[in-house]
Chains A and B, each alone.
Chain A
Amino acid sequence: DSGVTQTPKHLITATGQRVTLRCSPRSGDLSVYWYQQSLDQGLQFLIQYYNGEERAKGNILERFSAQQFPDLHSELNLSSLELGDSALYFCASSVTGDLGETQYFGPGTRLLVL
């Protein structure tokens, strides 16, 4: 158990809908990362937050947005969902978000868009 929690574990929704994925980092970790993992694209970095502020942006679509709240939990919002958004979404956390620091991954949220 990494100490990172993600809810929900599974999510089934329809195209065009909007969903929110939630992540609670390990106690003491200030940085949160979001990743998308699909069969064809592998693991893709989406976005990083540190203590409430966006720090790095990867391959995140404009239909997706995220934020980190004062209590350090984070939410990833996915809107206008498409079939291709079906994937496993991971959250990870680390203490400082510094380069090379170990990131601890949560169990993931499996999203299925029908």
Chain B
Amino acid sequence: QKEVEQDPGPLSVPEGAIVSLNCTYSNSAFQYFMWYRQYSRKGPELLMYTYSSGNKEDGRFTAQVDKSSKYISLFIRDSQPSDSATYLCAMSVAGGYQKVTFGTGTKLQVIP
């Protein structure tokens, strides 16, 4: 079993829809949770970063962490065609220089 599981999609939604992207994980020591967006043939860019449990909002994006369920989500409100990309979740443990473990990514397509 992979440490981080993410549905690869693709996920197709109409413009303006609310998008929900999710990851589950098995390592209860994960404390830092991140979401990256990656456009085709480009490097990933950090969208959201949260520590431990709770919600964090930034514009149209909301990141949610439920450590009791080992489940994290990224919500995108009022989705736009420019949101079409692959979204990768990532997480790491606390306590020093540790590697970040990535999900395999969910491909999102927002249809105009």
Contacts and interface: CB of A to CB of B under 8 A. Distances in A.
Contacts of A8: none
A103 B88 CA distance: 14
A48 B99 contact: yes
Interface centre among B49, B92, B95, B100 (most CB of A within 10 A): B100
Interface residues of B, number: 24
Query: Which secondary structure dominates chain B's binding surface?
Result: loop
A98 B95 CA distance: 9
Interface of A: 2, 4, 42-45, 48, 50, 55-58, 90, 92, 97-100, 102-108
Nearest to B44: A105
Interface string B77-112: 000000000001000111111111111110000000
Given A42-B104, A45-B99, A56-B98, A100 B43 contact: no
B46 interface: yes
A78 B101 CA distance: 22
B57 interface: no
B60 interface: no
Contacts of B95: 99
Given A45-B100, A99-B32, A99-B96, A107 B42 contact: yes
23 contacts: A2-B43, A42-B88, A42-B102, A42-B104, A43-B88, A43-B102, A43-B105, A45-B99, A48-B97, A48-B99, A50-B97, A55-B97, A56-B97, A58-B99, A98-B97, A99-B31, A99-B32, A99-B95, A102-B49, A103-B100, A105-B43, A105-B45, A107-B42
